Amino acid sequence: MSELLADHTTLRLGGPADRLFTHTDPAHWADLARGLPTPPFILGGGSNTLADDAGHPGTAVRMATRGITFRRHGNNIVEVTVQAGEPLADLVAHCVHEGLSGVEYLGGIPGTAGAAPVQNTGAYGQQISDTLAHLTVYDWQQRTITELQPGQCAFGYRTSTFKTRPGRWTILQLTLHLTRAHRAAPVTNPHLADALGTRPGARPPLGEAAAGVLADRCRRGLSLPDTGPDARQAGSVFLNPPLTHAQAHLVRTAGGPVYRDDFGTLRTSAGWLLQLTHHHPGKRITPGIRCSTRRTLTLTVQGATSAAFTAALQTLARQVREATTIHLHPEPVRPPATSTVNGAPTR
């Protein structure tokens, strides 16, 4: 009997894949890929995946390779190479323990290191592309393992070429250049500055900054609990949407936040938009689907289906669009419906 995708996603939704492999040994990737006629759907930790109830009519590969190596690259620079299946949270913890700055504000984010470049994972003003030196990838067109430089990845706000060109590459490992330092990178996020009891621009001790991020994520419901009513979730269900100048004026007039992302685009908070349309933590959206007990932007599942979860997302997006003209874009990734599928890993 085929394995259920529900057993490999944090929403615990999804039917069987036609074939599902677990990849653990980096040395065996070429053999695995050679036996696949089309790119598989790549699963990371499954924390950003919304699989269909009917399952996936193709091959899925769960990326479970582990390992982190450190190599001196200069006076204060250390080259860190991490396998794609390594949990991102473990990578951050290891780097902080080694006294390396550059990813300390990414602590507590669920998912794998290999999935981080796909959506250019970021938090508190820091993103994975900031310190990325290069990626080792499998090119499905050329059928070879090669390297990609950051400039080839088209990084943007929660996007990259791995999202816009699905099926071209599978990420096998990341190489980062981190700085040996006792203090964290400058705090640029005002909320984080308040949470750490410091000011924007300050550089708190590295360990204290990393611990403060974890505490703040837990306090705000941004962590993935193992048990309880919020355990079945996929984190934030919508990206913070881009705004026209007219929409930005509307948001400001209503007392909402407007900011420019690291790439210069005006955006607002998707969570604030849901609150504007009368949603709140714990609110029932549809049968079996609720906002989490801690935050509006996370939906939790209690006995519902993937179809019901999708319908809840559509309902929320429609309500926001009708109230504000702003379009919300879902963040969870869906396995493609055909056997020609995404070669980029999901969280």
State the catalytic residues: 158, 236, 331
92 CB-side CA count, 13 A: 30
Q: Which residue has the tokens 């984010």?
A: 109
* C-alpha neighbours within 13 Å on the C-beta side of residue 34: 5
Q: What are the helix (H) ranges across the chain?
A: 29-34, 88-97, 161-164, 190-196, 206-219, 245-253, 270-276, 306-324
- Strand, helix or coil for residue 12: coil
Residue 318 identity: R
For β-strands 169-180 and 17-23, DSSP reports them as unpaired
Chain center to CA of 195: 22
As a whole number of angstroms, the distance between CA 22 and CA 65 comes to 9
Which letter does DSSP use for residue 186 in this model? P
